[in-house]
Amino acid sequence: MLRSILAARPARAAILAAVCVAAASLAAGQTVTFTLSGTYSSLPGNSQAPWIIPGANWTLSMTFKNPPPLLNPDPSSFETSFQSATYTVNGNVVPLTNNDLVFNASAVDVPMTILLDSKTALIVNGVFQFYSGPGTSPLFVPGTYTSSGISSEVNFNFFSAAAGNPQIVVTGGSSPPAPPATAPLPASGWLTLLGLGALGWWAKARGIFRNPLRPA
C-alpha cells in the first residue's frame, strides 16, 4: 500500500495543497483530533529511526478539518492530510516528514493508513470506519474506536503490532449552525404598527370596512 501511495506523491502534493485552500472556508473552525498509541514490534527489521524503533512505545495526535479536504476520493476511500500532529517515540517528540493519510470504508479492513515519512507507515486494522457518508463526501465521526491492531510498514515490509487492541479516540467535530436570531423591531416599526392599529379601530368605528353584504 505504501508503494502505491508514494508513487504519485509529487502531483498529489500540489493538488492537495490547492484543495486544502479551497476547503478552508467551508471547514473554518470545525476540526477533530485523533489520538492513538501503541508499541512497535521488537523484530529487528522493524526499524526506521527515528520514526520506528523496535519495541518502542509511541503516541500520535493529529488534528483534521471536518469535513476534510479530499484527494483521489471514491465511494470507499479518500486521501487527506492533517492540519497539525504531535508524534512521540519512547517519550521523545519526533517530527513527521509526511502528512498523507488514507481512510477506507469498513469493508477494506484497514480503516486508516498514516505515512510517517517516505519509507514508513502506520496501518490501523479493524472492520470499522472513522467517517460517515461515502468517500466522496465524508464527515469524521467523534468516538472511541477499538482496532484489531496497529501494524507498521517499513521499506514496504509489514510488521504486526504488539499484543493488544489499541484504541483510537476521535474528539471534537462540528455542530450544526444555530438558527439566525430574529432582529428586534426598531422603534419606528413599533410606532408604525401602533398607528396602523389605531387607523383600523377608527375605520371600523366609522364603518369604512363594513361588510357590503350586511344591511346598513
> pLDDT digits over 111-157, tens only?
999 999 888 999 999 999 999 999 999 999 999 999 999 999 998 89
Confidence of residue 23 (pLDDT cuts 50, 70, 90): very low
pLDDT band per the 50, 70, 90 thresholds, residue 190: very low
Q: What are the grid coordinates assigned to 158, written together?
A: 509489514
Note the helical H segments in 8-124: 9-27
Residue 169 vs residues 59, 83, 146, 153, 176: alpha-carbon distances, Å: 12, 17, 9, 22, 22
Cell triple for 70: 479530499
pTM over 0.85: no
Question: Which pairs count as long-range contacts for 163-167, CB under 8 Å and 24+ apart, including other chains?
Answer: 164/38, 164/39, 166/36, 166/37, 166/38, 167/36
Contact 100, 19 (CB under 8 A): no
